[in-house]
Amino acid sequence: MSTELCKLKKSLKGDLPSYVLLVNQPRFVCTNCGRVANKKKNLCSPKRIKDL
């Protein structure tokens, strides 16, 4: 299973608590779709928020 949030959107309804753990302290934003995540490996095109 992919860990990129961009690809997980269809499975969110079934496992919302796991999704919340991936985004509860965001440090990265995806420059493609605008999603945020704690780790850059969870985004397809990550950019560190602190660098913006």
pLDDT (tens digit per residue) in 10-47: 667 778 888 888 899 999 999 998 999 999 999 999 99
Q: What is the pLDDT of residue 15?
A: 80
Tokens read off for 8 = 């997980």
Please enumerate in sequence order all residues whose Cβ is within 8 A of that of 34, keeping only pairs 6 or more positions apart, or say none: none
Among 1, 9, 2, CA closest to 34: 9
Q: What is the pLDDT of residue 5?
A: 81
Task: Print the domain residue range for 21.
Answer: 5-51
Q: What is the pLDDT of residue 1?
A: 46
Asked if residues 46 and 6 have their Cβ atoms less than 8 Å apart, the reply is: no
